[in-house]
Amino acid sequence: MASLTHRPQWKSALMLLAFLLLAPSMVGCTSQRYLQPRRTPVNPLTDALSLMNRSGPQPTGRTISLLRHYDVLDLFHHNPELALENLQRVATDEKGAEKTYAISELAYILGIRYQRSGNPGKALDMYSVAVSNAYLYLFSPELDGFRNPYDPQFRGACDLYNTSLEAVLRIVSSEGNLRPGLSYRISTDSASHDVRVANRGPWSDDDFGELKFCSDFQVKTIDAGNVTYGIGVPMLAVRKRPENETAAEQYYPEGLSFPVTAILRVTTPPQQGPSSGASDDPATCRHPCVLELHDPLSAAELGLNERLVPIQSDLSTPLAHFLENPKFKEQTNSTTGLLFPDQSQKLRGVYMLEPFDPNRIPVLMVHGLWSSPMTWMPMFNDLRSFRELRKNYQFWFYQYPTGQPFWISASQMRADLAELRRNIDPNAQSPVLDQMVLVGHSMGGLVSRMQTIESGEEFWRILSDASFDQLRASEEEKKRLASVLFFHPNPSIQRVVTIATPHRGSDYANDYTQWLGKKLIQLPSGVIEVTNSLIRQNPDIFRDTELLITKTSIDSLNPDSPIFPVLLRSRRASWVHYHNIIGMIENSSWFSKDTMESDGIVSFASAQMEDAQTQIVVQANHGSVHTTPRAILEVRRILIEHLKEACQKPQLAECLDLPEPWKKIHRQTPIGSTGYLDWPVRSAAVELPLEGRSGFR
């Protein structure tokens, strides 16, 4: 029986074995769900108009009072369409916001009744009247003296506009006419609306595939609160691969979904309702309209009738819809990346979930051991809910095979980033791309940090005292080895955030787990052949073949590995700022309390960084620390600080979309103008004191 001192080692090995054995069944049968369809679409008017009652939709109390005031309430009960016509005549002679609102509400109710009775044509007529009159209520200059933004009815008019427009779009989309570049006509008894569909976002018209309504879905797993309120219908577009591909096309995953907000801009909104007698020929009363498809990530408001109006948006549902894509789930299978790194090489690289923008700073997120870009979705969803962040940052994700040593992954990431820059900015015309921020979790933090240090000959000296030129090998073998051992910091990376990173290795990588890893992880045969060839050809050069002998990622994280002392003392780029987030839980072993402070995988002593500009401790375990609100808030603070510093560089201030005070005053943001606090350079919100802990100076 193993001694008590070895219990943590064999316990971690058994945990690893259990997870690895269960992983295939978990991936195939009980994969995580991010989205599920709703039985009934979400409708903000459900309660106000009693939409779910057996008696059918009914007007609100205020509209009933108005009908009684103009003596059309009884008529509404017997002939609601004629009552609506009479109310339209009154509104033509006696303008007022209250009457315009009632017309929109009654038309919407009639639209629902017609649709439920199987008459979509009449329903479309009524929904069109509801949309146009809600638009009139909200934006007509003639009603400026009547409109009261403090009246609950004002928000009700927004809901009427949005829900009526959604009802129109559902009918139109069923005929396949809802896509950019197309035009169609909506005809009522008194007018025709010539509607042109226009794309107002960064995606091209060819990028638009199927359009779906966000109200049809319920978000699971990730936070569904990433919603803003205003005008428009939140939708999601399933991206299709365009015929004319851009340089960034290779970085977009297949089946990507992106957010869209549909807004109908009525050039001359009609006051007349159906059968009002305004014209016997609908063709003589045409109203040109534009159905605009906006990207809420690019613009939070738009101008309507000389007013700046916020748009309604839903960012979480399109993201969740994409994460349900089986192809992306297969591409980001973390177990395949761990056990079969050779098979995962073809999926290695940078993934973009938003259109590439040469004027937004890249934030590249790097996952850890036995993980994938999916692990970043809660943080990604949360960070881009902040307007100043999504306007100035583009979030990218790096995927790599996690079964291989982290220094191999770091070498591949250097090559992949260099290739990406050559593809998307071959002439180096985008200065914001030189302000990149890396955010790495666990082993991904080591991969990220290695992008910012100068190797010198330090890593080669681990292997040999001889000159590298004395190495006997083919040119290809020399090139592959040199790419791992000799490198320079990436000048485009300005800031690195490491989260739960084993800067000095992890005790989880012990004799037992390393042995188990060698049995389960299948390293590429090409790597094995090259290392064996180098050792055979150079029996007298290598002093220590520790880093050459076939290793797995678990081996590479052994605290006794000679690479960690070299990594810690290597020269880092003077222009790079480091930030560190440490996880901490109260560990307990199976038999007794564990006194070592750690996040369950990485000890506190290994997780801390002495050269970090800021460092905080978060009460969370290793696997979840980067998804906690506190860690996300800290990353947000760091990104805001990064933006403030960028404001001081004239060539960047011209590219970025920043509040004017940020451009003028360094480290100071007025509360209320942007919604951000004036954060200090060093975070004051440290959950646990760092001073006095072993190894921290």
Q: How far is CA 78 from CA 41, 57, 262, 319, 478, in A?
A: 30, 15, 36, 47, 90
79: CB partners within 8 A, 6+ apart:
none
Return the bridge partners of 212, or none: 236
* CB-count exposure of residue 481 (10 Å: 0-12, 13-18, 19+): buried
Is residue 167's pLDDT more than 50?
A: yes
Q: Which of 436-440, 458-462, 549-553 has the lowest mean pLDDT?
A: 549-553
Tell me what pLDDT residue 271 has. Answer: 45
Residue 308 parent element (H or E): strand 307-310
pLDDT tier for residue 321 given thresholds of 50, 70 and 90: very high
Residue of 51, 59, 231, 48 lying closest to 137 (CA atoms): 231
Q: Is the pLDDT confidence value at 547 over 80? A: no
3-state secondary structure of 313: strand
153-165 pLDDT, tens digit each? 999 999 999 999 9
Mean pLDDT of 103-115: 96
Please give the domain boundaries of the chain with CATH numbers for all domains.
Answer: 61-318 (no CATH), 332-664 (3.40.50.1820)
Q: Determine the average pLDDT of the residues in 123-143.
A: 93
pLDDT at 1 over 60: no
What pLDDT is recorded for position 190?
56
Pairing of strands 233-239, 257-266: antiparallel
Is the pLDDT at 358 greater than 60? The verdict is yes
- Least confident segment among 154-158, 243-247, 586-590, 633-637: 586-590
Contacts (Cβ under 8 Å, ≥6 apart) of 408: 484, 527
DSSP annotation string for 642-693 = HHHHHTTSHHHHTTS---HHHHHSTT---TTTSS-----SS----SS--TTS
Q: What is the pLDDT of residues 300-320, one digit of tens each?
A: 899 988 889 999 999 999 999
Helix/strand number for the chain, H first, E second: 25, 21
Rounded distance, CA 270 to CA 285, Å?
A: 9
Using pLDDT thresholds of 50, 70 and 90, give the confidence band for residue 221: confident
DSSP H/E element including 294: strand 286-294
pLDDT at 595: 47
Q: Residue 71: what pLDDT?
A: 95
Share of the chain above pLDDT 90, in %: 61
- In angstroms, the CA 515 to CA 13 distance is 9
DSSP secondary structure string, 569-630?
Answer: HSEEPTT-EEEEEEEEB--B-SSSB--S-BSSSSBHHHH--TT-SEEEEEEB-TTTGGGSHH
The reported pLDDT for the residue numbered 519 is 52
Of 199-213, 358-372, 504-518, 611-625, give the lowest mean pLDDT range: 504-518
The distance in angstroms from the start CA to the end CA of the chain is 40
Asked if residue 524 has pLDDT above 70, the reply is no
Averaged over 64-87, what is the pLDDT?
96
How far apart are the C-alpha atoms of 377 and 368, rounded to whole Å?
14
Residue linked to tokens 């000296």:
461
What pLDDT score does 29 carry? 38
Q: Is the pLDDT of residue 538 over 50?
A: yes
pTM of the model: 0.86
Q: Report the largest interatomic distance among the alpha carbons of the chain, rounded to a whole angstrom.
A: 105
pLDDT at 546: 67
Local confidence band at 111 (pLDDT 50, 70, 90 cut-offs): very high
Higher-pLDDT residue of 340 and 420 is 420
Beta bridge partners of residue 350, listed in sequence order = 398
- Residue range 537-545: average pLDDT? 86
pLDDT at site 3: 35
